[in-house]
Amino acid sequence: MAAQAPVTPSSPAAERAAALRRANLRVAVTLATIAAVFFVGIIGAHLIGGFDEGTSVLGIGVLLFLAIAIGRNVFGKR
């Protein structure tokens, strides 16, 4: 069987498209991770203890979420 040539981006447009796909995926994975942390976090907090733990986990989650959301924007502008 003849060996197939590896598929590589062959033009600047294809490279741009590949870079865009990577960037899209990066954003999606970050956001999905935040959602997963909130989902697991809220159940975990209740498994560990009561109101104080739950509120603390939620509070820290919200602060981290805001830090990531604002931080991404600030560093993105540099």
Partner 1 sequence: MSTVTPDQLGHGHDDHAHGHPTGIMRWVTTTNHKDIGTMYLWFSFTMFLVGGCMALTIRAELFEPGLQIVNPEFFNSMTTLHGLIMVFGAIMPAAVGFANWMIPMLIGAPDMAFARMNNWSFWLLPPAAILLVTSLFVPGGGPSAGWTMYPPLTIQNGMGMDLTIFAIHIMGASSIMGSINIITTILNLRAPGMTLMKMPLFCWAWLITAYLLIAVMPVLAGAVTMLLTDRHFGTSFFNAAGGGDPVLFQHVFWFFGHPEVYIIILPAFGIISEILPAFSRKPLFGYASMVYALAGIAILSFIVWAHHMFTTGLPTAGLLFFMYATMLIAVPTGVKVFNWLATMWRGSITFETPMLFCLGFLFLFTLGGFTGLVLSIMPVDIQLQDTYYVVAHFHYVMVAGSLFAFFAGVYYWIPKWTGTMYDERLGKIHFWSSLISFNVTFFPMHFLGLAGMPRRIPDYAQQFADWNMVASIGAFWFGLSQLIFLYAVLKCIFHKGEKAPAKPWDGATTLEWTVPSPAPYHTFETPPVIK
**Which residues lie near partner 1 (CB under 8 A)?**
20, 23-24, 27-28, 31-32, 34-43, 46, 50-51, 54-55, 58, 61-62, 65-66, 69, 73
C-beta closer to partner 1: residue 2 or 78 = 78
Name the residue among 59, 23, 65 with its Cα closest to residue 42. Answer: 59
| Rounded Cα–Cα distance for residues 43 and 24 (Å) | 29
In angstroms, what is the minimal distance from the CB of 39 to partner 1? Answer: 4
75: Cα within 13 Å, side-chain hemisphere: 6
C-beta closer to partner 1: residue 8 or 73 = 73
